[in-house]
Amino acid sequence: MTTATAIAHPNIAFIKYWGNRNPVLRLPENGSISMNLAALRTQTSVRFDASLKADSVLLNGVEANPAQAQRVSNFLDLLREPGGTPAAVESTNNFPSGAGIASSSSAFAALAVAASQAIGFGLDERGLSRLARWGSGSASRSVPPGFVEWFASDMDEGSFSKSIAPPEHWDLVDTIAVISEAHKATGSTEGHALAGTSPLQAARVAGAGQRLDECRAAIMSRDFERFAAVVEADCHLMHAVMMTSKPALHYWLPGSLVVMEAVRGWRQQGSEVCYTLDAGPNVHVLSSAKESAKLAKQVAELPGVLRVLQSGVGGATQLVNS
Ligand code: DP6
């Protein structure tokens, strides 16, 4: 087969990936844990076609910019012979690309699964998650279903992702408070390269193993209080590293702080709710499903919140009929 299509969900990390031990292979400094977001989807088709002069990449119906197109071509070069067959890649997101949702996670998960199928590689889930990792680290975690752990290793073979619980294990909901739709000033790839310039990165990495154990245990026992404590602590540690790297990276906006403060208040009043933020100002408000309808309204009413997206736990990246 020379054509294949895959659908992937982006994921939100509870224990974060920030900094690489090997940036080319995207071997992360520490392991991470996330959940896939069912309501958000990237659908990507790949067609290898010898009659094409060069790769073409369409994102949401628009030709990709040169940097994006180059990143896709570099990824496809991992699969084909040097000077091999060009490909036509078409990818669409059902969520706003500028909304600061980690679209590189679903983008490279879908691309890895579609491209390896189209070229005829029989990779298993572990192989696909390793392959996706080469495109974008967080994409490794979008390959398996549900709640997922990505392992850190010094070796390419050892750094893959695996499901720790299926989507139906725990009905968590991510209510995303969109604070800005502007493109982020410093993308994650550049940010990872700066992590080591912060004096706090070594301490963050040293404690990651313990936080991974704590987060895994909280998920397995569906203990929201335990989960909230470790998720917020890990988010604060990553942002502390960002704010103290050289140059410093500041992703929070006033609206982000408004949401964070409100979430802490709601939790104090007994709600099962906590937050995390990636490399951007939008706040992912995590809650049990029973809180989610009320939360969507409460979050949308906070000053500085442009809009709200909501999603439960999603499945694996899957091939679909083109
Ligand atoms: C803050 O996976 O986007 O979202 O490997 O360079 O594509 P690249 O980086 P990326 O980094 C994600 C960083 C994060 C935390 C996380 O998702 O774990």
pLDDT of 183 above 80: no
Provide mean pLDDT across the span 212-232: 98
Least confident of 115-124, 184-193, 284-293: 184-193
Residue 191: both structure tokens together? 């940010």
How far apart are alpha carbons 156 and 228 in whole angstroms?
A: 32
The one-character DSSP state at 275 is E
Judge contact between 263 and 271, C-beta under 8 A: no
* pTM of the model as a whole: 0.97
- Among protein residues, the one with the nearest Cα to ligand 1's atom 6 is 189
Q: How confident is the model at residue 83 (pLDDT cuts 50, 70, 90)?
A: confident
Q: What pLDDT was estimated at residue 281?
A: 94
> Among 79-88, 109-118, 300-309, whose mean pLDDT is lowest?
79-88
Mutation to probe ligand 1, out of 106, 184, 192 (largest number of atoms < 8 A from CB): 192
Q: Find out whether the beta carbon of 104 lies less than 6 Å from any atom of ligand 1.
A: yes
The atom number, within ligand 1, closest to the CA of 105 reads 2
* pLDDT for res 98: 59
Distance 49 CA to ligand 1 centre (A): 31
Average pLDDT over residues 92-103: 76
- Closest atom of ligand 1 relative to the 32 alpha carbon: 18
Using left for φ > 0, alpha for ψ between -120 and 50, and beta otherwise, residue 277 falls in: beta
> How far is residue 299's CA from residue 263's CA, in Å, rounded to a whole number?
9
Q: State the distance from the centre of ligand 1 to the C-alpha of 39, rounded, in angstroms.
A: 20
Give yes or no for residue 42 CB within 6 A of ligand 1.
no
Q: Quickly list DSSP for 77-145.
A: HTTS-TT---EEEEEEESS-GGG---HHHHHHHHHHHHHHHHHT----HHHHHHHHHHH-GGGGGGSS-
81: pLDDT confidence band, cut at 50, 70 and 90?
A: confident
pLDDT in tens, 246-285: 999 999 999 999 999 999 999 999 999 999 999 999 999 9
pLDDT in tens, 155-177: 999 999 999 999 999 999 999 99
